[in-house]
Structure 1
């Protein structure tokens, strides 16, 4: 009996220890996302992230980059999607995170359009002088509006710039109250019907001041979970590659289209059109100086620096840091590219 009791006790202790070990190994992560059509919706809906990483993931939807960053700063979110403007603002405030992946290059999703009949020649930027241009202030479109004027040698004082939200822009456009606008869909689709494109955000990004939607992770979480981070990036990279291969052949029944409709809502054609406006750089490109790599000479670091300067000029941040390199890492994009090859 003594031997039997000892054996039972040993088995019970072993079971308890195994249970505790299993609990210790359980991994949880909270990820904040936004209403942005993207190829990564397909692996989200298919639960590939959970299946291939072994982590339990809590997906939380946010209305804006500012809100998700606030949640991140308070410890409620480990990984989040935010635009380059709120990322630059948060970095300037010292939030200890890192930009580790570009969800998208805004590319043709934000565009400066000249209204037909306004007297503006889209191929002659100087004809903007004396005209009225509308843009949502302190947005990535506003940032690129001022950069476009700078590249064209036009002073902001030489045109009338109005602060309007996208729905206001569309209405003012149709009344003929404004001559040009820098905006995004759905307002962009409406004004394009009676206007001509002058420049896209993609073209301006190529000149050195990029705008993008990025994925940021709290530094403590990323450093403690490098294997998860690499697998996470690899899954997104594979989804992007699948989209690039199928782009132009998508239909309402395509998995990426159905996933975006399920996750974010909208009509299939709106998803197809929306996806086509953005760029989705591959892991190799993201790890290079074209985006996350290159340290202080990388496009992402330069973009955060330039955006922070813009935000300070607009009175939205108190300081511009001397160096934004600590807030950008190419490590996981490079690891994902290596794992795939």
Structure 2
């Protein structure tokens, strides 16, 4: 499913019916139906991505299914945060994973999605990068064809990398492709470079040269992260279910630290990778536990000047300059978009 400009309302409605119907099995109002007797939701619809972080461990170990036995939990795979945004607008998901760039767009006009960020899956490091063939510098990509999933963190990072090298979008040909399509286009020789994440990145690196990584861009002030988004209505109606979800995510991060072999095996099963390769890809990410995320730098109630809300606001300034969103929202929009209270309720100090 390729990301395009926001579809018409009718198309979004149709998409919402399709997603909720096939994902939850209980119709479009699955996430908003009357709760179970224990106050848990009858259905929880989760949108995940093939990224080697704790979310895949929770899925693999079926921890949510065990913790919420009366809730029908459906995991639906998405290829990019832009697609998660589209599903959220259509009412087809309750919780999803999207990069900081799609979340910035989701919280900004014209989308103004009614969701908030309760968890940081990972701070992106070497697991997203710009890979090229026939070029050893970013400047040498002038006139080349470069692929990235539009509106993703990779797209944001690609534009930042080009700008840093003195290039504009008009100096290259940008192609909107999802990761599996990038891999196929690379194999056919249809593209010269791509900014993408693992596991596809790992395959491109075998025949291409990495020109810059998201870790390097972060050091230059272009921080990106994979974030959880939860529908505000769902979070308000089912706080205990959200607390349970958060606790399982924290459990996964702690498993990575305490038993890397078990964590790598779980991620490997989900990505069809050998455990050793899964372990290597996990190490390319920065995983934060709940206590770390409650700090002012990330999701704390008292946001530091350079906190996550400021990162999102900075991304909005960049996306506005690139004409990807019409205007930069106030910083307060992003501060209010962080579910700091919900995280604090799940892990009281």
Quickly name the TM-score band, shorter chain normalised: 0.7 to 0.9
Residue number among 72, 77, 98 corresponding to 2:116 in the alignment? 98
Contact 2:81 2:99 in 1 (8 A): yes
Equivalent-residue separation in structure 1 for 2:320 and 2:72 (angstroms) = 36
- Aligned counterpart, 1:326: 336
Q: Which residue of 2 aligns with 1:30?
A: 44
Give the aligned partner of residue 134 of structure 1.
Answer: 146
Structure 2: how far apart are the matches of 1:315 and 1:129? 22
Give a deviation string over 1:234-262, Cα, whole Å, max 9, x none: 22112112113333xx3xxx36524652x
Is it true that 1:220 corresponds to 2:233 in the alignment? yes
Structure 1 residue 326: deviation in Å?
1.2
2:130 paired residue number: 112
Q: Cα RMSD over matched residues? A: 3.5
Correspondence 1:80 to 2:91? no
Task: Give the distance between the partners of 2:35 and 2:122, measured in 1 at CA.
Answer: 37
Contact kept? 1:102, 1:215, Cα under 8 Å:
yes
Aligned residues: 301
Structure-2 separation of matches of 1:158 and 1:61: 33
The answer on 1:61 being equivalent to 2:76 is: yes
Change in CA separation of 1:308 and 1:168 when aligned onto 2, cut-off 3 Å: farther
In the alignment, is the contact (CA less than 8 A) between 2:40 and 2:68 conserved in 1? no
**Structure 1: 5+ residue stretches without partners:** 1-20
Aligned position for 1:267? 273
Alignment map for 1:186-225 (pairs within 5 Å): 186-225=199-238
**Residue from 171, 174, 179 that aligns with 1:163:** 174
Q: 1:118 to 1:217 in 2, by over 3 A?
A: closer
Farther off after superposition, 211-220 or 58-67 = 58-67
**1:182 and 2:195 matched:** yes
**3-state DSSP class of the match of 1:75?**
coil
Q: How big is the shift at 1:201?
A: 0.8
Aligned to 1:11: none
1:214 deviates by: 1.2
Q: Equivalents in 2 of 1:171, 1:76: separation in Å?
A: 34
Quick check: which has more Rg, 1 or 2? Answer: 1
State whether residues 45 and 92 of structure 2, in contact with CA within 8 Å, keep that contact through their aligned partners in structure 1.
Answer: no
Q: Distance in 1 between matches of 2:335 and 2:212?
A: 29
Question: For 1:256 and 1:55, how far apart are their aligned partners in 2?
Answer: 29
Q: Is the 8 A contact 2:320 2:326 kept in 1?
A: yes
In structure 2, relative to structure 1, the CA distance for the partners of 1:275 and 1:31 (3 Å cut) is farther
Contact 2:104 2:315 in 1 (8 A): yes
Asked whether the 8 Å contact 1:26–1:55 carries over to 2, the reply is no
- The answer for the alignment partner of 2:325 in structure 1 is 317
Determine the C-alpha separation between the residues in 2 that align with 1:148 and 1:320: 21
Contact preservation (8 Å) 1:283, 1:336? no
Q: CA deviation at 1:327?
A: 0.9
Matched residue, 1:14: none
Shift of 1:325: 1.4
Structure 1: distance between partners of 2:208 and 2:92: 44
Q: 2:102·2:152 contact (CA, 8 Å) conserved in 1?
A: no
Structure 1 273/259 Cα, relative in aligned 2: closer, same or farther at 3 Å? Answer: closer
